[in-house]
Structure 1
Amino acid sequence: MPNSWAGEVSVSKDEDDHRYFFWLWEPQNDVGHEDLVIWLNGGPGCSSLEGLFEENGPFTFTHGEDAELKLNPYSWTNLSYVMWVESPIGVGFTEGQPSIRGEKDLGREFHGFLDEFFSTFPELKNKRLWLTGESYAGMYIPYIAHELYQNADKHSGINLQGIAINDPSFTDTFFGEEAPAFEFLEKNYRVMGLQREDVESVRNLARQQGLETYIADHLQYPPRGPINPPDQYNPEKSIWTQIADMAQGKSDCFSIYNIKPNCEYESDPLGMPLQSQQPSDKNFINDTPGLKEAIHVDPSVRWVECTSDNVFQAARYQQDTSTPPDQSVLPMVIEKSKKTVIQHGTYDFVLIANGSALAIQNMTWSGTTGFQSPPNIPIRFEGRMHGMMGEERGLTFVLVNGAGHMIPEFKPKTAYKLQQYLLGQLDRDGISK
């Protein structure tokens, strides 16, 4: 087991009562000693310790009622320094009252944390920094990267190289959920445990909303022009919600996080199952004697995986109203970065892969809109096909076959190989072998 360091660091020299929790691990192998990867979970309000214990950390849980920790052969600590950070304030073991109003505030808050972190760990200054995460971190990370590229002091030790966001919330609800929902149902209804008549029961609403053939008509390479909602689209009549309710009504084991019904995940050792059942009474972080003392946090704090408190409560409407990154900061981040990777599991229904593809085809960066060709680079592992990848003008888009919302949890081998690609340890040829 590699060495690790854990504790709390202030988000500002002037705000010692606002502190992030971090858990930093050193590389286990000879590679990656010049790279520092930061992982963020989403929510908003979910702890990155979920990623550490259930996705890409040095150990993961077995599934089932009697879950146990086991070593993870696909730990990202094999490839670099990795730091799991709880952010923003209000999540997990963080200290202080939430004070951010949106993503720009979060970017500044995270920037302050990094300045204080590198002051505490000067030996890590100027390591190649990579920001990675999933879900709502697709909002966090582009804004954090934008803040760092715009305002980081060259003497602070922040040496950002690029970002990778998995199944990200980086676009609006229309692209991410509604536009691709019916096409997703037509393609995957058998996997979801549904019948053909279930598809037909949704078709009329899709036709009324102008979305029955929306993906076929608009997901084009190269894009034909701006992609907009149909005139008849009504956001109050959600196709996505109708499909999710129907699938969950057919099977208690259906999960929007992974559409293949599976009761194996009924109980979660961190207390928040992927299915619709009630959270488990067990919570590894709260129940393990001495763990909180070992990671230098207050043992009286009751840790929860995802807080019910509003981490944007200082906002005018007490919610994050920031412009989605695909319509704001992401193009500049791509242009400034050595590498930007967007990954999406094809079995995720929380956010749908073709929704991410639509958003990319509607986004302009480096003087051109969208990809000019569809993803056509195969991703192979031990001779088997695991997905497809496209790469143009500094942006890589990856479709991971059969992966749900948490790619490192559901497809750890593929996630590991994609992380090697991000860090430059594998090239395009290597990822296809």
Structure 2
Amino acid sequence: MKDFNFSIFSGYLSITDSNQSFHYVFVQSQLNNKDNSVPLVLWLNGGPGCSSMIGFLQEIGPFVFLNDDDESLSYNEQSWNRVAHLLFLESPSGVGFSHNPLNITFNDSQTADHNLKVLQEFYSNYPEYQKNPLWLAGESYAGAYIPLLAQKIKKFNDLEVAVINLQGMMIGNGITNLTHLPISQLVYQKQHQLLPPNFDISACEKNVTSEDCKDVNSNAWRITKRINPYDIYGYCYYEEKEVEDEQEWLSEMKQFMLIHDDNIIQVTNHELGVPCVQIDNIQNYLNDIQIKTYLHVDESIQWFMCSRYHNKQFKYVSDPPLVMKVLQEVINYDLYTILLYNGDADSVVPWLDTLQTLQTLNLSITEEWRPYYVKNNQLGGYTQGYSNKLRFVTVRGAGHMVPQNERIGAFYLLNQTLFGQAF
């Protein structure tokens, strides 16, 4: 049995002015835990409404379910705690084991405010990590969470009451420009031969919110319904009720693929489950009474991967123009190292959508598109450098959850980014 030189802490961090309690898991680094130069990575999964315990138990934590059908945890040789402390936060409240007693309807700005308060509470409980370099990391809707939290931290630091040592951020398959995303999804599907060559997407290119575009998307989903949208070369688990009521299923897919009628997306209660994704092992593990005791969480809470599908109290309103505005502002600070990375087998947030976002932001290219190589000189993907300390990277063969599909490649991205090493 391997001896481990790190500890794992779990419990609640509270916001006293609203009675919300946020479940967190803190994993010490395998490096010297008394060294203030060891990075601290705050990890957020997306949704909105999906639990960061997925990141902990399936992606970057030290003990994970390596395969979808594993019944027990295995040591993760590519755990990110090899080089950093890891703080997993179930946010907003109402997600996972976190409490939302006031039945709050969340939005992007409010969630960032809460995440900042929770981070301050973490430092109050663990003051020895206050000076460590902080990195914000996550995937999917964390593409909104992270820039807004970075902005809040910058404004907090400007008050000079205390300083949070934010150094940068890493966003995987991040949702940033929801206005363009539906078009990117269709283009990606056509480029990868998931749709017929003559499949017409011009209605969406003209007006993404039109009724004709909605029909295009519905037809595309009918054609691709047995393809895992998060990993087009991966396995698709599905429910028979998808077939029983196709209209209900299409309505659910509209939410999953984040198609919207205007600039605001409202996420409410859903029952279908995440398309093609099977996480029974994690769900059974986290709902075991003994595990809940170990984690110091409320035993009465039933854990689900994404609260928006099971918790009628969880409601979220997204504001895409705000996210783009803040992302531009954070980049313009020119203070933080920013890595935007995409698994190239993801059709939910395709790599070309992130590239479109970068083009919208009018950044200067400082390093032309080129390949990079990982273990045994294998092609890891492609990268392009931009002004203001920003880099874009694709990860070959990875889906929406890069650290799950390509553990070696994801750890390479982390290591090179945290320590300023060349790709």
SS of equivalent to 2:321: coil
- C-alpha spacing 1:375/1:240, structure 2 compared with 1 (3 Å): farther
Q: Percent identity?
A: 25
SS of equivalent to 1:330: helix
Counterpart of 1:284, as a letter, is: N
- C-alpha spacing 1:286/1:423, structure 2 compared with 1 (3 Å): closer
Aligned to 1:347: 345
Distance 1:138 1:77 in 2: 22
Aligned to 2:230: 257
Contact 1:61 1:68 in 2 (8 A): yes
Deviation digits for residues 217-244 of structure 1, max 9, x if unmatched?
A: xxxxxxxxxxxxx479836514454333
Q: 332, 335, 344: which is aligned to 1:335?
A: 332
Cα offset for 1:150?
A: 1.2
Aligned to 1:306: 306
- C-alpha spacing 1:49/1:278, structure 2 compared with 1 (3 Å): closer
Q: 368, 387, 390: which is aligned to 1:395?
A: 390
RMSD (Å), alpha carbons: 2.9
- C-alpha spacing 1:331/1:276, structure 2 compared with 1 (3 Å): same
- C-alpha spacing 1:373/1:286, structure 2 compared with 1 (3 Å): closer
Contact 2:374 2:412 in 1 (8 A): no
Distance 1:236 1:373 in 2: 40
Q: Does 1:245 align with 2:196?
A: no
Distance 2:207 2:289 in 1: 58
Matches within 5 A, 1:108-123: 108-123=113-128
SS of equivalent to 1:319: strand
Q: Does 1:86 align with 2:90?
A: yes
TM-score when scaled to structure 2?
A: 0.81
Deviation digits for residues 115-142 of structure 1, max 9, x if unmatched?
A: 2111111111121111100001111111
Aligned to 1:224: none
Cα offset for 1:163?
A: 1.0
SS of equivalent to 1:84: strand
Q: Does 1:102 align with 2:97?
A: no
Distance 1:301 1:231 in 2: 43
Distance 1:397 1:306 in 2: 28
- C-alpha spacing 1:419/1:241, structure 2 compared with 1 (3 Å): farther
Aligned to 1:215: none
Cα offset for 1:151?
A: 2.1
Distance 1:415 1:281 in 2: 23
- C-alpha spacing 1:320/1:273, structure 2 compared with 1 (3 Å): closer
- C-alpha spacing 1:146/1:305, structure 2 compared with 1 (3 Å): same
TM-score when scaled to structure 1?
A: 0.79
SS of equivalent to 1:143: helix
Larger mean CA deviation between 149-158 and 233-242 belongs to 233-242
**Unaligned 5+ runs, structure 2:** 240-271
Distance 2:354 2:339 in 1: 12
Distance 2:313 2:150 in 1: 20
Aligned to 2:247: none
Aligned to 1:360: 358
- C-alpha spacing 1:244/1:128, structure 2 compared with 1 (3 Å): same
- C-alpha spacing 1:404/1:311, structure 2 compared with 1 (3 Å): farther
Q: Does 1:276 align with 2:276?
A: yes
Contact 1:363 1:370 in 2 (8 A): no
Aligned length: 379
Aligned to 2:415: 420
Distance 1:341 1:182 in 2: 25
- C-alpha spacing 1:122/1:32, structure 2 compared with 1 (3 Å): closer
Q: 7, 10, 19: which is aligned to 1:6?
A: 10
Distance 1:101 1:275 in 2: 24
Contact 2:342 2:351 in 1 (8 A): yes
Cα offset for 1:162?
A: 1.2
SS of equivalent to 1:382: helix
Counterpart of 2:213, as a letter, is: K
Distance 1:138 1:66 in 2: 29
Contact 1:34 1:127 in 2 (8 A): yes
Contact 1:285 1:303 in 2 (8 A): no
Aligned to 2:53: 49
Contact 1:137 1:165 in 2 (8 A): yes
Counterpart of 1:237, as a letter, is: C
Deviation digits for residues 382-423 of structure 1, max 9, x if unmatched?
A: 210011111121111111111100000011111101011221
Contact 2:177 2:320 in 1 (8 A): no
Contact 1:345 1:401 in 2 (8 A): yes
Contact 1:46 1:305 in 2 (8 A): yes
Contact 2:36 2:131 in 1 (8 A): no
Q: Does 1:164 align with 2:164?
A: no
Q: 373, 376, 387: which is aligned to 1:382?
A: 376
Counterpart of 2:120, as a letter, is: D
SS of equivalent to 1:276: coil
- C-alpha spacing 1:98/1:329, structure 2 compared with 1 (3 Å): farther
Cα offset for 1:33?
A: 5.0
Cα offset for 1:274?
A: 6.0
SS of equivalent to 2:409: helix
Deviation digits for residues 61-93 of structure 1, max 9, x if unmatched?
A: 132545321100000000111111010111011
Q: Does 1:29 align with 2:31?
A: yes
SS of equivalent to 2:317: coil
Q: Does 1:138 align with 2:149?
A: no
Larger mean CA deviation between 231-240 and 21-30 belongs to 231-240
Distance 2:148 2:198 in 1: 40
- C-alpha spacing 1:331/1:260, structure 2 compared with 1 (3 Å): same
Contact 1:21 1:94 in 2 (8 A): yes
